[in-house]
Amino acid sequence: MAADLDRLMQLGPEAVTGRTVHQALRDRVEAAGNREFYRFKDEVFGYRDLDEHSNRVAAGLQQMGVRKGDKIGILMGNRPDFLALWFGICKLGAIEVPINTAHVGPLLAYMLGHADCRIVVAEEAYLGRLEAVLAELPAVERVVTLGGGEVSNPAVVASTWDELVDNDGAFEEVEVLWSDPFAILFTSGTSGPSKGSLLPHNYGYTMGEIVTAAVEYTEDDCLYNALPLFHGNAQMLSTMPALLSGARMVLTERFSASGFWPDIRRYGCTEFNYIGGVLPILLKAEPRPDDADNPLRVLFGGGCPPDLFDAVEERWGVTLLEGYGMSEMGLPLLNTLRSRRKGTVGRPAFGCQVRVVDDYGVEVPSGVAGEIIMRPAIPYTMLLEYYKMPDKTVDAWRDLWFRTGDSGRRDDEGYFYFVDRKKDALRRRGENISSWEVERIVTAHDAVLESAAIAVKSVESEDEVMVVVALRPGRTLSPEELLDHCQEQMAYFMVPRYVRFMESLPKTPTEKVQKAALREEGVTEDTWDREAAGYVVKR
């Protein structure tokens, strides 16, 4: 790791154009030709296959008028076309805006509109929800449909994916620098709407290097990528490390507990990048005598419940490596194969300075909890800004340190422990959820006066969503009616599990809702549980 840091700190002028997402692909083509890069179902794709496919995407987008800096919205599940679209967008110096495919209604419209998307590429399965909000998106000029379906809105130009890539792959080259943005990834808002993290190319490149070094990937490895490509995790922590190390990758449509181990054995996967409650789900399967007879050597991720750590390693004969990160800053803390301590999120990654401070910014002693703050020592390895939110960008920085809003502590040997989130964001099974956005949708019901969304602990790790509601005088509302309203306006993973009605919400003297008090009370006797009631949320 020290050698990697020394090399990065001595980067020369060639890094300015050499450390871009798409240049990593071109370098691999030059070094390995069309050697296998990844598999999807029964299809095998080489480096040159992806390079040529993305060239056709770039050429098609350029013919549609896409220029450097333009934003392209993506509503698509995991499939080879997503990778081609991502790299094709990068080659033009344009900016991908991948949207969680579960989003609907106001939040979907907000993200596409706030990001100034000119073009949206939508898979057929998600075209209906896009059509429902197109009238609210005057900046969208064209919709490219994939897999069928038609666009009925006459205000936009409709094209198909086949039309987009029906060309020879020739396009006018655009100078793209490591400092140029390649993506806007939305992260949960707490006191306002979700924020779009504007990320530079060197962020993606460096994340690939950090993970490759930590897990020591080589050309002999095979990474299992079952996470959605609309998340930075699947792009920066799986695809980029595989590309930079020369490892193979297996891309699946989605994570499946029943299909996980058959896939791992079938493809000879040596690594899986997990999130959230995936490990508890896998542990629920009936133990088998041959559980440890598998090709996996490493599970890399975060959020494994501490009491399950040893059970995971012993049952499947793997090494668990945990880290800490955010879309804004990548992975400033992580364990590595050569530096690991169970129960921690590791030490600072190369090129990252990390501290734990009190409310006044003063570093606290070892063992004392405080806010985790960080800053990079290498240029363009974290967000450039929160897109079109200068106030939020400024708020995130104080004394030249990025404030994570998360609580942690450090031991005497420099290992960090994640304690809790100071912010009001929630996290459920790998999905970040904005409490503000849940509250906005709940309070939009005409029977609701005000609401507070809070996290309550789940038995599977991470959070369950609970909403505490005060109704307008004289109004009535059942929990089922409230959740029916929620399902029409929010992604399935945002829909609260628990609903509690109160005459009024507890407030501070300045009229702020006392969420800490509500969290301390948690699930009370008068709280309604949709799972116990048999209420089913549609996906």
* 192 has a pLDDT exceeding 80: no
Which pair of structure tokens corresponds to residue 323?
């880290």
CATH number at residue 113: 3.40.50.980
329 with 297, same domain: the answer is: yes
Residue type, 353: Q
Count CB atoms within 10 A of the CB of residue 456: 18
Q: How far is residue 308's CA from residue 279's CA, in Å, rounded to a whole number? A: 8
**Domain around 68:** 21-176
How far apart are the C-alpha atoms of 317 and 312, rounded to whole Å? 8
Q: Do 380 and 345 share a structural domain?
A: yes
Integer Cα distance of 7 and 210 in angstroms: 13
**Which amino acid is it at 93?**
G
- CATH number of the domain at 273, please: 3.40.50.12780
Mean pLDDT for 17-28 is: 96
Q: Are 165 and 57 in contact (CB under 8 A)?
A: yes
Task: Give the confidence band of 3 by pLDDT, cuts at 50, 70, 90.
Answer: very low
Residue 1 confidence (pLDDT) above 50: no
Note whether 409 and 164 are within 8 A (CB). Answer: no
Question: Does residue 182 belong to any structural domain of this protein?
Answer: no
| Cβ(526)–Cβ(500) below 8 Å | yes
Q: Are residues 38 and 166 in the same domain?
A: yes
- pLDDT of 8 above 90: no
> How far is the C-alpha of 484 from the C-alpha of 466, rounded, in Å?
15
- What's phi and psi for 445, nearest 5 deg? -65, 135
Q: Are 431 and 444 in contact (CB under 8 A)?
A: no
Q: For residue 324, is it within any domain?
A: yes
Q: Sorting pLDDT into bands at 50, 70 and 90, what band is 429?
A: confident
Percent of the chain with pLDDT over 90: 77
Same domain, 169 and 312: no
Q: What is the CATH number of the domain that holds 501?
A: 3.30.300.30
Instruction: Look over the chain and give the mean of its residue pLDDT values, rounded to a whole number.
Output: 92
- Burial (CB count within 10 angstroms: exposed 0-12, middle 13-18, buried 19+), residue 219: exposed
Q: In the structure encoding, which two tokens stand for residue 444, read together? A: 């939009």
Task: Output the pLDDT for position 460.
Answer: 62
Rounded Cα distance between 521 and 404, Å, is 26
Using N-to-C axis directions, what is the helix angle for 47-63 and 80-91, rounded to 10°?
Answer: 60
User: Nearest CA to 315 among 299, 334, 336?
Assistant: 299
Mean predicted confidence (pLDDT) in 189-195:
73
Contacts of 250 (CB under 8 A, 6+ apart): 38, 39, 40, 222, 223, 224, 225, 263, 267, 269
Q: 209 and 113 share a domain?
A: no
Give the total residue count for the chain. Answer: 539
Supply the pTM of this predicted model. Answer: 0.86
Token pair of 97, please? 């805006």
Which residue in 299, 90, 37, 100 sits closest to 203, CA to CA? 90
Which residue is associated with the tokens 């969290």? 519
Residue finishing a domain among 135, 160, 176: 176
Do residues 203 and 19 lie in contact, with contact meaning Cβ atoms separated by under 8 Å? no
Number of structural domains the chain divides into? 3
